[in-house]
Amino acid sequence: MKSKKVITVLKIIAALIMLQTLYFKFTGAPESIYIFEKTGLGTAGRIGTGIGELIASVLLLIPATAWIGAVIGLGLMSGAIVSHLTILGIAVMDDNGQLFIYGVIVFVICAVVLFSERNHIFHALKTKFNI
């Protein structure tokens, strides 16, 4: 029973981290514009990533779809982490690596959630594909 509560807290943390970045993405904050221009994704990438993070956050908070949110979150954070390691650097615009750290935290939490929800995934696949 304790582990369910821990997983719920982790889901909330990941969702909050992703949701708090939406303001910057959707309002065109200078840091966000810089990041997405430097990675070559531009405005469409910034808004698209924001929409993806919004969807992942909502899905993470719904028990039946948390595993889907975790998959989306893993994908988005993989892109963020790789971008930091290959294009942006760990620290972006003097943030001391804060965005990178947030990305790693969300990545790890999504991996833990996905592992904890593995039975739901197998059940969903069995139901959908008659495995």
Residue 21: how many CB atoms within 10 A of its CB? 22
- pLDDT of 28 reads 95
* Whole-model pTM over 0.85: yes
Indicate the number of domains in the chain: 1
Who contacts 60 (Cβ-Cβ below 8 Å, separation ≥6)? 11, 14, 15, 66, 69, 70, 73, 110, 113
Tens-level pLDDT at each residue, the chain (131 residues): 679 999 999 999 999 999 999 999 999 999 999 999 999 999 999 999 999 999 999 999 999 899 999 999 999 999 999 999 999 999 999 999 999 999 999 999 999 999 998 887 777 777 877 76
Domain span at 95: 2-129
- pLDDT of 1 reads 60
